[in-house]
C-alpha cells in the first residue's frame, strides 16, 4: 500500500491544466473505452492527449507482460559443446594420413564407435570402454559387456570381437592391437 | 597479420604486397571443411568460442555478418628463414557412416587447396582433430 500511496502522490503532482491529474485519467481509461466517458473526458483536450499517451504505455507494458519467450538455448549449447570439446582434446589417438599436419581422433569418439559396434550384437550391451593409443596407428581397447541371461551364447563374444575389429578399420581407420573383453554383468531379458 | 609478396607480371612495379589476417584464412578453411562429405560440424573450443563471440560482436557493430571461423586455429611462424610458415589446426565432428581417417585426410586436402586457390598461400600443415563421431548423422 505504501508503494501505491507514493505513486498516487507522485502522479497527483502531475495535475493537467484542466484540473484532473494523470492518475484519474489512467483510472478512467477503461471507462472511456467502454463508452462511459463523461462530458469532461470527451471535451478536454488535455485529458485526450494524456489518454493517448497512456494508451501507448499500456499497450507496451501489456506486450512485455505477455512476452513469455525463453532466453535462447543456442549460447548455452555452444558453451557446453565447447567445454566437452576441451575435455576431449587431451586424449587423442593418431590416425594415418598422407598429408602434412597429422590427423587425430579423441579416445572418447573411438570408444563410442566401438561400443556402438558391440551393441549391434544380439543380447550384448557394451558398457565401459577404455581406449589407449599404441605405436603404429593402433589402439588397445578394454571393454566390459553386459549380456542377456537368456539370449546369450558363446558365439556372441566372438561376434563382438569381429564387429569391433571391423568397426575400428572401417569407421575409424585404426588397427585394433588388442581387445580385452570383460563379461561384467548379466541382465534378464 | 601476414604479408605475402606477390610478383607483378606486368613488370611496372617490382612486386605487390598482399596482407591477410588470420580470420580470413580461418574462414576459408571453415568453408572448405564444411563442404567435405562426412563432416558434421566444426567444434570450437572455449578459446575459439570466446574469440568468435568477440569478433562477431565487433563485426555486428559495423553492420557485417561475419563468416564463421570457429573450430580453426591459425598459427603463423615468422621465425622460419624460408618465409612465414602457416599451420592450421582444425577441430571437427565426423559422421559414423564414413571412415574417420579418410574424412580427415579429405579435409586436409580440401583446405590446403581452398587456401591456395583463394590466397596463393601454401600451408605448411593442416592438423585435423576429430573430437567426436556422431553415430546418428548420415553422410
B38 conformational bin, left if phi > 0, alpha if psi -120 to 50, beta if neither: left
Minimal CA separation from A177 to chain B, in Å = 17
| Nearest neighbour of A97 by CB, restricted to B104, B129, B133 | B104
pLDDT in tens, A141-155: 999 999 888 877 778
| Nearest neighbour of B132 by CB, restricted to A95, A103, A106 | A106
User: Residue-wise over B55-67: b if at least 16 C-beta within 10 A, else e?
Assistant: bbeeeeeeeeeee
pLDDT in tens, B64-100: 777 777 888 888 887 777 777 889 999 999 998 889 9
Compute the half-sphere exposure of residue A98: CA atoms within 13 Å on the CB side of its CA.
4
Check residue B91 and report its DSSP letter: E
Q: How many residues comprise chain B?
A: 139
Q: Against a cut of 0.90, is the pTM above it?
A: no
Q: Coil, helix or strand for A136? A: coil
State the complex-level ipTM: 0.77
pLDDT in tens, A42-98: 888 888 888 888 888 888 888 888 777 665 667 777 777 778 888 888 889 999 988
Widest CA span in chain B: 58
How is residue A125 written as a grid cell?
A: 550391451
The residue of A105, A168, A170 whose CB has the most chain B CBs within 10 angstroms, and thus the best one to mutate to test that interface, is: A105
pLDDT in tens, B30-40: 999 999 999 99
How is residue B6 written as a grid cell?
A: 606477390
The nearest alpha carbon in chain B to A102 belongs to: B127
Domain spans of chain A, in order of start: 22-66, 82-187
CA distance A175 to A156: 22
The pLDDT assigned to B52 comes to 72
Q: Residues A93, A129: contact at Cβ < 8 Å? A: no
The pLDDT assigned to B121 comes to 85
Q: Does domain A82-187 have CATH number 3.90.226.10?
A: no
Amino acid at each position: 500500500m505504501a508503494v501505491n500511496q507514493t505513486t498516487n502522490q507522485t502522479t497527483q503532482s502531475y495535475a493537467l491544466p484542466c484540473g484532473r491529474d494523470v492518475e484519474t485519467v489512467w483510472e478512467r481509461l477503461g471507462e472511456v473505452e467502454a463508452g462511459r466517458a463523461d462530458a469532461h473526458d470527451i471535451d478536454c483536450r488535455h485529458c485526450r492527449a494524456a489518454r493517448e499517451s497512456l494508451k501507448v504505455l499500456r499497450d507496451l507494458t501489456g506486450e512485455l507482460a505477455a512476452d513469455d519467450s525463453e532466453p535462447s538455448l543456442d549460447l548455452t549449447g555452444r558453451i557446453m559443446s565447447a567445454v566437452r570439446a576441451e575435455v576431449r582434446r587431451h586424449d587423442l589417438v593418431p590416425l594415418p594420413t598422407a598429408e602434412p599436419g597429422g590427423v587425430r581422433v579423441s579416445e572418447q569418439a573411438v570408444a563410442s564407435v566401438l561400443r556402438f559396434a558391440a551393441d549391434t550384437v544380439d543380447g550384448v550391451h557394451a558398457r565401459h570402454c577404455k581406449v589407449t593409443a599404441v605405436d603404429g596407428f593402433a589402439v588397445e581397447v578394454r571393454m566390459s559387456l553386459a549380456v542377456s541371461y537368456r539370449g546369450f551364447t558363446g558365439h556372441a563374444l566372438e561376434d563382438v570381437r569381429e564387429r569391433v575389429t571391423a568397426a575400428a578399420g572401417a569407421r575409424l581407420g585404426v588397427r585394433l592391437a588388442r581387445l580385452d573383453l570383460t563379461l561384467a554383468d548379466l541382465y534378464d531379458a | 597479420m601476414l604479408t605475402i609478396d606477390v610478383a607483378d607480371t606486368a613488370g611496372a612495379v617490382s612486386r605487390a604486397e598482399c596482407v591477410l589476417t588470420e580470420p580470413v584464412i580461418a574462414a576459408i578453411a571453415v568453408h572448405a571443411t564444411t563442404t567435405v562429405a562426412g563432416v558434421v560440424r566444426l567444434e570450437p573450443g572455449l578459446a575459439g568460442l570466446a574469440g568468435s563471440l568477440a569478433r562477431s560482436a565487433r563485426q555486428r557493430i559495423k553492420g557485417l555478418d561475419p563468416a564463421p571461423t570457429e573450430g580453426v586455429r591459425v598459427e603463423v611462424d615468422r621465425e622460419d628463414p624460408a618465409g612465414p610458415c602457416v599451420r592450421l589446426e582444425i577441430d571437427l565432428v565426423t559422421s559414423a557412416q564414413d571412415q574417420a581417417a579418410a574424412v580427415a585426410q579429405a579435409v586436409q586436402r580440401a583446405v590446403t587447396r581452398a587456401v591456395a586457390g583463394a590466397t596463393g598461400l601454401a600451408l605448411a600443415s593442416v592438423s585435423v582433430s576429430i573430437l567426436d563421431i556422431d553415430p546418428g548423422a548420415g553422410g
